[in-house]
């Protein structure tokens, strides 16, 4: 069986904002303590940041990292995390029922961002708190000097402001599990008033309003319409969150779930544009898909954990080969709407539903999902091109007419390269692929990277960290402006030409 694809440099979706390759570090489980930070680790730097983890993060070239939550932020007092560490309080952390020792806070995280060559996407607490505390926080973080909070930052050893540009107005405020959950009207009003004061402190910031916490929330997409109606002029982005899983072990269906992500994105764009029309506004609201991933493997283990521990192993999904394929499909979904999805964060970065795993006091390694995320981040920068695809299809439990080929192309004009990202969803057979690169003239192959495995459930572990990893022996051949390849069953492919 065979699929075809036409890619033309003039059929543009839009510029890829590099921030769609963002990630997320929450004060949750071992994401911070035992993840980015472990002061007694053999690779720890003088601040306690793990060097081995930093190296793996740098390998992903992560442009932005959301912090400090997540559900955590809705009960967080940012003041607990600044100033001398020995004077910081330990707190009951109600979102995840742990003890938060506050060994790492805003200033340390900003130092870590510098070391990781990334920037922060900071969230403010709109669960237990409101505009006043958000104003104080941004004054502390971004105001140069001469005021209570900016001078407090200087007293804490940070003379220069952190100049944090991107801010989230709370987290998943539609979810009953959220500390201080709100109705759309309650949230829209407080988000708007918070946005105003934050912008008055620093007019250069960009603000993200909370959209629905998943596509399956009963209030979606009414929530988006109401929230944007109440915040339109004062925010820049609306957020989307979505996780997928395969609890019933139906892999064909699991691989089809990114079709839901496509329609989620399209519906949020339509809703934002509906509010734009209603307001007769010139302004477009873009999308921040600031939590996405596969999440289900750890659910059972998490239910058995005792509460009130410091950094217990929460949400530690061990990812397998099929999870990496779904992550690949999700990355392609983001690229297919690169015109409006301008930020996105794989959730999360280390240990907690993450591409990077660590052992406390031991090694750090790459999960299967590290690879598609890394390939997209490294090779998916430039202009996303419309994928005109003809593909054989199949029917799955939740979706009919699921194309075996999921694909998109990115043109990096600066480097003169085109990269095709492609997943073959067929679990039994390879898929022939013919790409017509028409307007690109004579091309040559740089490499064809393949992530394949006979065992869909194969995973990387501390003992076998390289069981699933890509190779560059893909069979793509380039003849002039045509690429021909055979995509192995259940595979993730990166075909790079110039
Ligand atoms: O990423 C894990 C959790 O998932 C986040 O804290 C929350 O926002 C979402 O429900």
Residue 106 has a pLDDT of: 98
pLDDT > 70 fraction of the chain, expressed in percent and rounded: 100
Residue 145 has a pLDDT of: 98
Global pTM reads 0.98
**In angstroms, how far apart are the furthest CA atoms of the chain?**
69
Does residue 172's CB lie within 6 angstroms of at least one atom of ligand 1? yes
Residue 350 has a pLDDT of: 98
3-state secondary structure of 373: helix
Q: In this structure, are residues 224 and 216 in contact, taking their beta carbons and an 8 Å threshold?
A: no
Does residue 127's CB lie within 6 angstroms of at least one atom of ligand 1? no
For the residues 234-242, what does the mean pLDDT come to? 98
Residue 364 has a pLDDT of: 98
Residue 213 has a pLDDT of: 97
Residue 446 has a pLDDT of: 98
Q: What CA–CA distance (Å, rounded) separates 220 from 452?
A: 36
Does residue 347's CB lie within 6 angstroms of at least one atom of ligand 1? yes
| CA 433 to each of CA 138, 173, 445: distance values in angstroms, whole numbers, following the listed order | 51, 44, 15
Residue 388's pLDDT band (boundaries 50, 70, 90)?
very high
Residue of 23, 30, 97, 172 to test ligand 1 pocket, by largest number of atoms within 8 Å of CB:
172
Does residue 26's CB lie within 6 angstroms of at least one atom of ligand 1? yes
Closest by CA position to 252, among listed 404, 471, 452: 404
For the residues 413-437, what does the mean pLDDT come to? 98
Residue 263's pLDDT band (boundaries 50, 70, 90)?
very high
Residue 212 has a pLDDT of: 98
Residue 296 has a pLDDT of: 98
Residues with catalytic function = 172, 291
| CA angle 283–287–291, rounded 5-degree value | 155
The H-or-E segment that residue 199 falls in is helix 184-201
Residue 9's pLDDT band (boundaries 50, 70, 90)?
very high
Q: What CA–CA distance (Å, rounded) separates 137 from 121?
A: 14
Closest by CA position to 374, among listed 449, 445, 430, 444: 449
Q: In this structure, are residues 73 and 170 in contact, taking their beta carbons and an 8 Å threshold?
A: yes
Residue 93 has a pLDDT of: 98
Q: Return mean pLDDT, the chain.
A: 98
Q: What CA–CA distance (Å, rounded) separates 405 from 456?
A: 18
pLDDT (tens digit, 9 = 90+) per residue, 151-210?
999 999 999 999 999 999 999 999 999 999 999 999 999 999 999 999 999 999 999 999
For the residues 119-131, what does the mean pLDDT come to? 98
Sign of CA dihedral 177, 178, 179, 182: negative
pLDDT (tens digit, 9 = 90+) per residue, 275-291?
999 999 999 999 999 99
| CA 210 to each of CA 127, 252, 331: distance values in angstroms, whole numbers, following the listed order | 12, 32, 21
- Count of other CB atoms within 10 angstroms of residue 490: 25
What contacts 100, CB < 8 A, 6 or more positions away?
27, 72, 80, 90, 91, 92, 93, 310
| CA angle 217–218–224, rounded 5-degree value | 75
Residue 377 has a pLDDT of: 98
Chain mean position to CA 315:
16
Residue 265 has a pLDDT of: 98
Q: Which ipTM value was assigned to this complex?
A: 0.99
Distance 442 CA to ligand 1 centre (A): 46
Taking CA atoms only, the protein residue closest to ligand 1 atom 1 is 347
Distance 444 CA to ligand 1 centre (A): 43
Residue 36 has a pLDDT of: 98
| CA 343 to each of CA 173, 339, 358, 453, 454: distance values in angstroms, whole numbers, following the listed order | 19, 11, 27, 31, 34
Sign of CA dihedral 124, 130, 133, 135: positive
Assign residue 116 a region: left if phi > 0, alpha if psi is -120 to 50, beta otherwise?
Answer: alpha
Residue of 26, 169, 242 to test ligand 1 pocket, by largest number of atoms within 8 Å of CB:
26
Distance 96 CA to ligand 1 centre (A): 10
Give the CB-side neighbour count of residue 445, counting CA atoms within 13 A.
Answer: 18
Residue 95 has a pLDDT of: 98
Residue 303 has a pLDDT of: 97
Looking at residue 77, the DSSP 8-state letter turns out to be -
For the residues 196-225, what does the mean pLDDT come to? 98
| CA angle 361–366–371, rounded 5-degree value | 165
For the residues 453-469, what does the mean pLDDT come to? 98
pLDDT (tens digit, 9 = 90+) per residue, 239-251?
999 999 999 999 9
3-state secondary structure of 16: coil
Taking CA atoms only, the protein residue closest to ligand 1 atom 8 is 70
pLDDT (tens digit, 9 = 90+) per residue, 472-493?
999 999 999 999 999 999 999 9
Residue 493 has a pLDDT of: 98
Q: What CA–CA distance (Å, rounded) separates 150 from 125?
A: 19
pLDDT (tens digit, 9 = 90+) per residue, 66-101?
999 999 999 999 999 999 999 999 999 999 999 999
Does residue 70's CB lie within 6 angstroms of at least one atom of ligand 1? yes
Structure tokens at 325: 């394929």
With 0-12 / 13-18 / 19 or more C-beta atoms within 10 angstroms meaning exposed / middle / buried, residue 127 is buried
């Amino acid at each position: 069986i065979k699929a075809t694809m036409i890619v033309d440099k003039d059929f543009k979706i839009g510029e890829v904002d590099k921030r769609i390759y963002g990630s997320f570090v929450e004060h949750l489980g071992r994401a911070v303590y035992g993840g980015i930070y472990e002061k007694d680790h053999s690779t720890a730097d003088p601040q306690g940041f793990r060097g081995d983890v930093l190296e793996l993060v740098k390998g992903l070239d992560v442009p932005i990292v959301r912090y400090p939550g997540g559900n955590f932020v809705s009960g967080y007092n940012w003041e607990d995390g600044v100033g001398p560490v020995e004077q910081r309080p330990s707190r009951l952390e109600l979102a995840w029922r742990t003890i938060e020792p506050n060994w790492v806070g805003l200033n340390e995280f900003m130092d870590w961002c510098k070391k990781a060559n990334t920037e922060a996407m900071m969230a403010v607490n709109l669960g237990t708190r409101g505009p006043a505390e958000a104003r104080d926080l941004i004054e502390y973080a971004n105001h140069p000097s001469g005021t209570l909070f900016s001078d407090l930052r200087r007293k804490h050893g940070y003379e220069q402001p952190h100049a944090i540009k991107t801010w989230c107005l709370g987290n998943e405020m539609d979810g009953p599990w959220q500390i201080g959950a709100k109705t759309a009207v309650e949230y829209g009003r407080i988000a708007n008033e918070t946005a105003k004061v934050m912008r008055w402190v620093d007019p250069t910031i960009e603000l993200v309003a909370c959209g629905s916490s998943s596509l399956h929330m009963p209030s979606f997409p009414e929530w988006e319409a109401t929230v944007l109606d109440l915040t339109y002029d004062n925010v820049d982005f609306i957020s989307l969150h979505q996780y997928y899983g395969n609890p019933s072990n139906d892999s064909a269906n699991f691989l089809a779930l990114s079709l839901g992500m496509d329609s989620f994105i399209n519906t949020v764009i339509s809703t934002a544009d509906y509010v734009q029309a209603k307001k007769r506004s010139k302004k477009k609201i873009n999308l921040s898909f600031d939590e996405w991933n596969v999440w289900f493997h750890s659910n059972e283990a998490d239910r058995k954990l005792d509460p009130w521990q410091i950094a217990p192993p929460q949400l530690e999904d061990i990812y397998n080969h099929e999870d990496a394929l779904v992550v690949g499909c999700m990355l392609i979904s983001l690229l297919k709407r690169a015109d409006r999805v301008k930020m996105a964060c794989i959730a999360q970065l280390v240990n907690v539903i993450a591409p990077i795993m660590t052992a406390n006091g031991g090694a750090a390694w790459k999960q299967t999902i590290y690879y598609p995320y890394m390939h997209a981040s490294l090779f998916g920068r430039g202009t996303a091109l419309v994928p005109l695809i003809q593909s054989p299809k199949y029917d799955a439990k939740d979706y009919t007419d699921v194309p075996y080929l999921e694909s998109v192309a990115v043109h990096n004009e600066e480097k003169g390269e085109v990269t095709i990202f492609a997943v073959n969803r067929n679990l039994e057979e390879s898929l022939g692929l013919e790409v017509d690169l028409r307007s690109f003239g004579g091309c040559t192959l740089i490499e064809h990277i393949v992530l394949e495995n006979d065992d869909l459930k194969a995973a990387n572990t501390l003992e076998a960290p390289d069981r699933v990893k890509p190779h560059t022996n893909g069979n793509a051949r380039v003849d002039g402006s045509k690429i021909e390849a055979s995509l192995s069953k259940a595979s993730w492919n990166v075909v790079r030409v110039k």
